[in-house]
């Protein structure tokens, strides 16, 4: 006896997913922007206060304090470089405006803000392009 979803149910789920309104998707991206700003800075700001300034040598030492934090640091650094390349290429291809904003967000906050901000700007562009979405 096979366990799974029958094809008609799968089609209904797929059609339901297609009906997600792009306006709601934009708001979701904005919510992720807020989380992507607040959560990382909830850790960074107290660190700054504790050390009275941005001491880069101490920052790098703490960032790579052990192998697991080094793993996460390098993962985020690689992700940030890839995201900046993606922002520039995909944004230029689609004609997305304000590409400097998510790039700056990646550099000042991180991928957690830069990615949802770019997706928000991209969705705005797609929503206003007749072949992709409704003109708002």
Give domain status of residue 32, yes or no.
Answer: yes
- Could you tell me the residue range of the domain that residue 101 belongs to? 22-127
Count H helices, E strands: the chain?
6, 0
Total domains present in the chain: 1
In-domain check, residue 49: yes
| In a domain? residue 133 | no
Q: 134 lies in a domain?
A: no
- pLDDT digits (tens), the chain, 136 positions: 455 667 777 666 666 555 556 558 889 999 999 999 999 999 999 999 999 899 999 999 999 999 999 999 999 999 999 999 999 999 999 999 999 999 999 999 999 999 999 999 999 999 888 876 554 4
The interaxial angle of helices 67-94 and 111-127, nearest 10 deg, is 20
Looking at the domain assignment, is residue 91 inside a domain? yes
What's the residue count for the chain? 136
Report pTM. Answer: 0.78
* Interatomic CA distance for residues 110 and 103, integer angstroms: 9
């Amino acid at each position: 006896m096979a366990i799974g979803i029958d094809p008609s149910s799968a089609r209904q789920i797929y059609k339901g997913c297609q009906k997600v309104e792009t306006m709601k998707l934009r708001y979701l991206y904005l919510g992720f922007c807020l989380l992507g700003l607040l959560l990382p800075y909830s850790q960074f700001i107290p660190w700054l206060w504790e050390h009275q300034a941005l001491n880069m040598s101490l920052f790098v030492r703490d960032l790579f304090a052990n192998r697991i934090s080094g793993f996460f640091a390098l993962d985020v650094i690689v992700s940030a470089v890839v995201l900046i390349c993606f922002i520039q290429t995909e944004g230029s291809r689609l004609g997305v405006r304000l590409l400097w904003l998510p790039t700056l967000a990646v550099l000042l906050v991180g991928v957690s803000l830069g990615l949802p901000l770019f997706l928000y700007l991209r969705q705005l562009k797609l929503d206003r392009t007749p072949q992709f979405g409704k003109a708002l």
